[in-house]
Amino acid sequence: MGSATKSPVSAGCLKSFDAGEGLEMSAALIRERALSDDILVAPGVYDMMSLLLANRHGFGAHYLSGYWNAAATMGEPDLSIAGYRDFITPFARMAEKSTAPLIADADTGFGSLASLDHCVRGYQRAGIAAIQLEDQPFPKKCGHFDGVPVVPAAEMCARIKVAVEAREEGDMVIIARTDACGAEGLASAIDRLHSYAEAGADWLFLEAPPSREDMAHAAGSLELPLMINAAHGGKTPILKPSEYQALGVSVVIYPAGAPLSASAAAEKFFTGLTQDDANPNGEDWFEFSEMNELMGKERIEELQKRFGSA
């Protein structure tokens, strides 16, 4: 954000917010945090259990990924198979339970500019604090796949202007992502981000930069907060939050860490079961009682005791 000299990560970037404060307060909080000296760290949550677990750790935000939403709810790849309704339904449910502001993927806006207008209004009604839009054509693909195309910058600028207008008096953060780093090079990607800032974007998202040097150069070239996608298995180096912060990055998302970890654990159990090993002692597992606590079992049972279970 004009400088690559941020202070080390502090507990401030992990402070949670009161879900009762509502969208405007949550959006204001992440706006403030993205402009502070502390990097805003947002782990990816992809279902209700991962969200409840993330709630316990007091992150400054949670990230809702289109890739992992399509994978978790549909078993489909991130190739524009999932539509607006496939996104907003689980995202709205998560907004009800999240104790941190939600940053949510909205792909290209799901079709026409009218579809984008509808999407922005729907996300804002659902309580999403920040919406992410990208400069790919429709249909789009995961930004860490090979051969990712981009639309002309003017077309993306129109999307941003529609999103800003659709937000009306709300405070939802508009994040403009460029996928031009691979297709056109870093210089073109930075030029695009400057244009997107002029069009009204609040934060800028450089997707799939392949090196630390590229991230530092982009951060030093831009005035608005820069967001980076630390996607495990993708094209961008996976660093500690403090290392991204030292490069000048303001916001970092880790969308793949939790689902890939959970998938590895499930695969280990399934493989063991085929070999007659049911892990009877639950070694390296989350406790069943802890899961019940996480979901608020005791609160519901106490309510039933006081008022009956009918």
How far is C-alpha 252 from the chain's CA centre? 9
Asked whether residue 270 is domain-assigned, the answer is: no
Q: Mean pLDDT throughout 157-164?
A: 98
- pLDDT band at residue 23 under the 50/70/90 scheme: low
Residue 284 is predicted with a pLDDT of 87
Asked whether residue 210 is domain-assigned, the answer is: yes
Residue 4 is predicted with a pLDDT of 44
pTM of the predicted model as reported, rounded to 2 decimal places: 0.92
pLDDT, tens digit, 9 for 90 and up, residues 2-11: 544 444 454 3
Q: Mean pLDDT throughout 19-27?
A: 61
- Average per-residue pLDDT in the chain? 91
Burial class (CB in 10 A: 0-12, 13-18, 19+), 112: exposed
Does residue 218 surpass a pLDDT of 90?
A: yes
pLDDT, tens digit, 9 for 90 and up, residues 172-204: 999 999 999 999 999 999 999 999 999 999 999
3-state secondary structure of 304: helix
Report the distance separating Cα 148 and Cα 265, nearest Å: 31
pLDDT, tens digit, 9 for 90 and up, residues 255-267: 999 999 999 999 9
Structure tokens at 110: 């799901």
Asked whether residue 247 is domain-assigned, the answer is: yes
Residue 283 is predicted with a pLDDT of 85
Asked whether residue 271 is domain-assigned, the answer is: no
Does residue 234 surpass a pLDDT of 80?
A: yes
Asked whether residue 173 is domain-assigned, the answer is: yes
Domain extent at residue 230: 11-262
CATH code of the domain in which 47 resides: 3.20.20.60
Does residue 17 surpass a pLDDT of 90?
A: no
Asked whether residue 197 is domain-assigned, the answer is: yes
List b or e across 88-111, with b for residues whose CB sees 16 or more CB atoms inside 10 angstroms.
Answer: bebbbebbeebbbbbbbbbbbbbb
Task: Give the relative orientation of helices 257-274 and 48-55 as an angle to the nearest 10 degrees.
Answer: 120
pLDDT, tens digit, 9 for 90 and up, residues 92-135: 999 999 999 999 999 999 999 999 999 999 999 999 999 999 99
Residue 193 is predicted with a pLDDT of 98
Does residue 1 surpass a pLDDT of 90?
A: no
Percentage of residues of the chain with pLDDT beyond 70: 92
- pLDDT band at residue 215 under the 50/70/90 scheme: very high
Asked whether residue 283 is domain-assigned, the answer is: no
Asked whether residue 233 is domain-assigned, the answer is: yes
What is the number of domains present in the chain?
Answer: 1
Phi, psi of 196 (to 5 degrees): -70, -35
